[in-house]
């Protein structure tokens, strides 16, 4: 019978591993934040310019096409941003395994097998986007029409609730994709997605409870104006990394 490490033990190990390593981790966070900000601003600028060009060519009657094009550019930027998570995962995986680490691992997903990195990132981003699309559509309508009245509020709450009910199990099932991509470099995108669901079978609740245990620290981070995230983000990522290593190599009961 397999024995998996309890949540407290994973967290204690994460703190021990990160001791003396926070400077490099914070540098990695800073680099990712800068590039994410750059891609987001670039997507926003390109979306506006492209929308303006389409408006002049197609006319104002094609507003739906213009909006769709802008959303497509935004979605592409989100996927490219998610590709950074490949290198981010590699950094913490090497750190957990006592291997050399480098903040420039951040670009690993762009340098090595970009097609696979992009494909996995696209699936993860699309899952989030589709699950929360009804909520986003309703909130966008409310913000544009300023109709924050009774009919729309319940619809917004229901859309958000349904979105999370669908999203949570899917996200938990796909949570190991980046780790598995690095662990099984010869696997295709489809094989990695299937393997993630397979290894997470029976472990979704365990990971979900780990995620919930971070909520108090997340609240403290909010009140610290995000400064606490410099400590919290590496800590959470290290716990997730140790969860994966424990998942793939559990202890055997004697």
- Residue 143 confidence (pLDDT): 65
Distance, C-alpha 60 to centroid of its chain = 36
- Residue 151 confidence (pLDDT): 66
> Both tokens of residue 65?
């096409």
Per-residue pLDDT band for 61 (boundaries 50, 70, 90) equals low
- Residue 234 confidence (pLDDT): 92
Q: Give the position of tokens 């559509």.
A: 137
Over residues 68-80, the pLDDT tens digits come to 666 788 888 889 9
Give the global pTM: 0.87
């Amino acid at each position: 019978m397999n024995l998996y490490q309890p949540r407290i033990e994973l967290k204690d190990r994460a703190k021990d591993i990160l001791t003396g390593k926070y400077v490099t981790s914070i540098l990695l966070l800073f680099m990712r934040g800068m590039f994410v900000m750059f891609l987001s601003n670039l997507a926003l600028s390109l979306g506006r310019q492209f929308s303006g060009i389409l408006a002049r060519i197609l006319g104002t009657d094609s507003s739906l096409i213009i909006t769709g094009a802008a959303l497509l550019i935004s979605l592409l930027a989100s996927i490219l941003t998610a590709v950074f998570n490949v290198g981010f995962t590699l950094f913490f995986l090497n750190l957990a395994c006592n291997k050399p680490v480098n903040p420039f691992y951040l670009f690993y997903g762009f340098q090595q097998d970009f097609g696979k990195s992009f494909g996995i990132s696209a699936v993860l981003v699309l899952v989030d986007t589709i699950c929360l699309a009804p909520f986003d559509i309703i909130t966008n309508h409310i913000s544009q029409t300023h109709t924050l009245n009774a009919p729309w509020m319940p619809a917004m709450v229901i859309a958000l609730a349904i979105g999370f009910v669908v999203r949570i199990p899917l996200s938990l099932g796909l949570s190991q994709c980046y780790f598995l991509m690095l662990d099984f470099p010869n696997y295709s995108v489809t094989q990695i997605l299937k393997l993630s669901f397979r290894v997470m079978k029976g472990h979704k609740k365990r990971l979900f409870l780990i995620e919930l245990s971070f909520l108090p620290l997340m609240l403290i981070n909010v009140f610290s104006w995000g400064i606490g995230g410099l400590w919290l983000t590496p800590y959470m990522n290290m716990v997730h990394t140790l969860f994966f290593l424990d998942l793939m190599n559990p202890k055997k009961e004697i």
